[in-house]
Chains A and B, each alone.
Chain A
């Protein structure tokens, strides 16, 4: 019993540190899957909860970021599907919050956010991993698809983003 308790304590301490070490990744994933601040807060809590719950299956000797990305992205995709269960969100680009006055406004960030929201959840995951600087092989491992598939789909996303940009410019 004592051994079990002390192991749990080590594990709880370990997962807290793990969450602290990777909080910026979790924040970016939450941002990619939810525009609404309250909903995003819920999503972050959900992701943290799933990480804590899945932590016993975490093997420190293996690539920690692969494990983290899988849990966080799976949770975010599930959350997004639940939130959009009865109605797909309307693409209201105007409702994206403007940068606050205390921050440097970055039009590219706004643009990127809009583009991300136009992708389906799986392609969003692909783009998030790419933007987080993971190699094609690492992306393939997280997503469970081939490296060739990753390369082809990234190329398609580039084309899609370009055509969306052209449409915006015309409008």
Chain B
């Protein structure tokens, strides 16, 4: 193509040509859609976090005197309690944003809601990942306390905490090595980089800003 079409009008013919090429794909196999996936995920998170909240609340309530006299033993339950509340509130926020998304609303409005939902999803996953690494250490202790009593927190040796922290470190190094082994253009590498370097969240923020600005006439 040697000369640039001065007006977009001249590209309309090319546009209709694309339409013909696309119609070839009309007969491709039907695939299951995943529209409900996010809602199902949010509901599952609420149920699991609700159960955890109930277990943590029950443990703290039934050993209230011990909690006051030996507060360190309450750390696993309090960590789960806080995470459960955060999970439930984020999942509810996601459900609300999803329900507010009206598909036949003006594109600029819907895009704004989609951008907000994306930012929330990326942020939630990041928080869940970090919390998961921390809770990996306290989760078995919490379960032991629920099953066998509050005192279980004090029979866990220091080596347990050290080994579990070491395991977290191994996971982080493993992820880094996996990242380096992938070719520069691979989707996995870009995805991991986007997550670990925070570029995915930065991009989601940019998208939200662009969606906000789209309604205003540019200067």
Which A positions have Cβ atoms within 8 angstroms of B? 23-24, 27-28, 30-31, 37-38, 40-42, 44-46, 49-50, 53-54, 57-58, 67, 69-71, 73-75, 77-78, 81-82, 85-88, 90, 92, 99, 103-104, 106-109, 111-113, 120-122, 125, 127, 130-133, 141-146, 148-149, 152-154, 156-158, 161-162, 165-166, 169
Select B22's contact among A27, A92, A143, A162, beta carbons within 8 Å. A27
- Whether B35 contacts A46 by the Cβ 8 Å rule is yes
Q: How distant is B102 from chain A, measured CB to nearest CB, in Å?
A: 8
Q: Does B4 contact A (CB under 8 A)?
A: yes
Chain A residues with CB under 8 A of B211: 122
Q: Does B11 contact A (CB under 8 A)?
A: yes
Between A and B, 11 residue pairs with Cβ closer than 8 Å are A27-B23, A49-B35, A57-B104, A77-B107, A86-B194, A87-B190, A109-B14, A109-B17, A131-B11, A157-B8, A169-B2
Q: Does B135 contact A (CB under 8 A)?
A: no
Known A-B contacts A23-B26, A108-B14; A149 and B33 likewise in contact (beta carbons under 8 Å)? no
- Whether B22 contacts A152 by the Cβ 8 Å rule is no
Chain B residues with CB under 8 A of A122: 107-108, 111, 210-211, 214
Select B4's contact among A82, A141, A165, beta carbons within 8 Å. A165
What secondary structure prevails in chain A residues at the interface with B? helix
A76→B210 CA distance, assembly (Å):
17
Pairs of residues from A and B, 9 with the lowest C-beta to C-beta distance, nearest first: A144-B106, A87-B190, A108-B14, A86-B191, A165-B4, A27-B22, A74-B110, A131-B15, A41-B28
Q: Mark B186-199, 1 if CB is under 8 A from A, else 0.
A: 01001111110000
A130→B9 CA distance, assembly (Å):
9
- Whether A144 contacts B14 by the Cβ 8 Å rule is no
| Nearest chain A residue, comparing its CB with the CB of B203 | A88
A58→B104 CA distance, assembly (Å):
9
Q: Among B12, B109, B110, B215, find the residue whose CB has the most chain A CB atoms closer than 10 A.
A: B110
A87→B189 CA distance, assembly (Å):
9
Chain B residues with CB under 8 A of A71: 103-104
Known A-B contacts A46-B35, A87-B194, A144-B109; A78 and B104 likewise in contact (beta carbons under 8 Å)? no
Q: Interface segment, B68-76, B78-86, B115-123?
A: B115-123
- Whether A144 contacts B215 by the Cβ 8 Å rule is yes
Q: How distant is A60 from chain B, measured CB to nearest CB, in Å?
A: 13
Known A-B contacts A40-B25, A108-B11, A162-B4; A70 and B106 likewise in contact (beta carbons under 8 Å)? yes
- Give the contact-size bracket for chain B: 35 or more
What secondary structure prevails in chain B residues at the interface with A? helix
| Nearest chain B residue, comparing its CB with the CB of A130 | B8
Q: How distant is A169 from chain B, measured CB to nearest CB, in Å?
A: 8
A103→B14 CA distance, assembly (Å):
13
Q: Mark B140-174, 1 if CB is under 8 A from A, else 0.
A: 00000000000000000000000000000000000
Chain B residues with CB under 8 A of A113: 18
| Nearest chain B residue, comparing its CB with the CB of A147 | B217
Select A87's contact among B2, B19, B191, beta carbons within 8 Å. B191
| Nearest chain B residue, comparing its CB with the CB of A97 | B21
A133→B16 CA distance, assembly (Å):
11
